[in-house]
Amino acid sequence: MFELLEERRMMSAAPIASLELLNTDTNQPVAGYASLQSGVTLDLAKLPAHISIQANPSGPVGSILFGYDGNAKYHNENYAPYSIAGDINAGAITNAWPLVLGAHTVVVTPYQNINDGGAAGATDTLKFTVIRTTGNTWYVNPTGANGASKTIAGAIALAQPGDTVLIEPGTYYESIKLTRSGGGGKPITIAAATAGTVTVNSTGDAVSFDGTSVGYINLQGIIFNGCSNPLETSAVRIGYDWNVTNVTVENAQSQGMEVYGNNTTLEGVIAQYNGQEGLGGVNCSNVLVQNCITRYNNPGLKNPSWAGSTFAQQVNGLWYVRADYESGAGKWGDTSNVTLNGVQSYSNHGTGIWFDGTNTNVVIENCTVYNAIPITEFYEGVGISIEMNGVGPVTIENNDVYNDPGGTIVIASSRHVKVTGNTFGGSYIALNDWPRGAAVTMEDISFTHNTMNNSFIWTGGTNWFTTSGSGKNVVFDYENYVGMTGPVFRWGTGVYQTIANVESSLKLELHGKQTA
């Protein structure tokens, strides 16, 4: 998988031979859509439940860049198969890409080198329209004109499996609770007629949009702004078999959005300015979080409902949720098969990406995590945290993590974690073997092929010795340490200034290198 850059350089990038619609459940082209032509109409009622767009180059390429609806750098793929939502397990599983009702444009450009580097080849542009022909459409507008419902909740109460609730621009002051599920192949679609023009304001209510116990829902293009939810409860609650696309949740008193169900995809979700944390999940499985943003959460509020509680602290007149409790970008706990791909997490007070407890088959890839902000102590601003996980596996791959004073990655009392192909900037990587029980002692931790930009290794706890690499099956190898201004390792009671010291004393980084 880790080919040398020189091996990925091409004399020229081959043009795109075809774009196809892929059934991601079978990894086979959808019948009739093996060659997509610009102007095509895609009817969701006639397509498989989980699909994606795949680009097939006519020859060698270094990478393929997908643009989508004005976002010129929506997704980059360095390795075949080249699909717009990426893949896992070396292409064995293609990530589903939720289609949103309306007109869209995808721009596909091959490049000579990886990471859309080198010369660009010929660009293909695919314009398409997404519709759904089955079921009824229930309209919502603020005035109730032309027989439409004045409230979103009123229209949802009428919707049956396969129906669409189409919401016209405006601000709707309501709290919405879903009681009816869609069905397999017949989801209920709840969508803004024009993405970003519909706002639900639930100030004064404990929940904004509650779908915890229902399934087969498509939620698209809505802004949830304001909710008076108590601490540790979410404003927007997602159930099972959902596709959530281009939704924003902001200015909630506590948590923004939480996933509680299985088989759910979040695409283009923005969670920001929420009083406790942005986007997370608990007791959920088979969840894909793709190209989402969580930022400016736990920003400090003047008088939240949870002011003065055990888990709150006041700093300079503002109330924050304690970073050691559950705050920041969002926490994931007791999950299975959760993938974060292309997530941006920045400027949250607390942790940027946090998996805590028993989480199995976690993948964190192609994410950017930076500027985690401490509340009072430097160690509160963590980039990526893997904590109390004795099961795993966890794969952290091809991410850019920097400017997080509490550690770019902190792995505490966890096992079976693989960290590879990332770039870390500033601060440190921490391995903390705290005495929290035999089931969560540190074992099987692997760091390979990462770039450490003035970022050193630091072990916490008392159980670290020069033989702990082999004893705990901890591997550091093939890293590149760049611009170090201090020791490269602080391992147990030892301080190691150079890679040569690490190699000779700890038997780690046998193929690592250190550059100015």
Cα 63 to Cα 13: distance, rounded to the nearest angstrom: 9
Q: Is the pLDDT of residue 447 over 70?
A: yes
pLDDT at 189: 94
Cα 77 to Cα 416: distance, rounded to the nearest angstrom: 26
Please give the C-alpha separations between residue 409 and each of 177, 256, 355, in angstroms, as whole numbers.
38, 24, 12
* Three-class secondary structure assignment of 267-301: ECCEEECCCCEEEEEECCEEEEEECCEEECCCCCE
pLDDT (mean) for 298-321: 95
* Three-class secondary structure assignment of 198-257: EEEEECCCCCCEECCCCEEEEEECEEEEEECCCCCCEEEEECEEEEEECCEEEEECCEEE
Cα 11 to Cα 13: distance, rounded to the nearest angstrom: 7
Cα 231 to Cα 505: distance, rounded to the nearest angstrom: 48
Question: 189-200 burial, b for 16+ CB within 10 Å, e for fewer?
Answer: bbbbbebeebbb
Q: Give 412's pLDDT tier (boundaries 50, 70, 90).
A: very high
Cα 377 to Cα 145: distance, rounded to the nearest angstrom: 55
Give pTM, 2 decimals.
0.86
pLDDT at 11: 59
pLDDT at 101: 84
- Say how many Å lie between the first and final Cα of the chain, rounded: 27
pLDDT at 77: 92
How confident is the model over 327-360, as pLDDT tens digits? Answer: 999 999 999 999 999 999 999 999 999 999 999 9
Strand-pair category, 513-515 with 480-482: parallel
Cα 421 to Cα 451: distance, rounded to the nearest angstrom: 7
pLDDT at 89: 74
Q: Is 69 left (phi over 0), alpha (psi -120 to 50) or beta?
A: left
pLDDT (mean) for 398-411: 97
pLDDT (mean) for 432-453: 93
CA-wise closest residue to 257 among 308, 302, 286, 219: 219
Q: Which two tokens stand for residue 168?
A: 């016209």
How confident is the model over 82-138, as pLDDT tens digits? Answer: 999 998 877 778 999 988 888 899 999 999 999 999 999 999 999 998 888 778 999
Whole-number average pLDDT of the chain: 93
Question: CB–CB of 407/374 below 8 Å?
Answer: no
**Cβ partners under 8 Å of residue 501, min gap 6:** 488, 489
Q: What is the dihedral of CA 299, 301, 305, 309, to 10 degrees?
A: 80
Residue 141 exposure: Cα atoms within 13 Å on the Cβ side: 11
Q: Give 436's pLDDT tier (boundaries 50, 70, 90).
A: confident
Cα 495 to Cα 410: distance, rounded to the nearest angstrom: 19
The DSSP secondary structure of 164-189, one letter per residue, reads EEEE-SEEEE--EE-----BTTBPEE
Q: Which two tokens stand for residue 37?
A: 């032509």
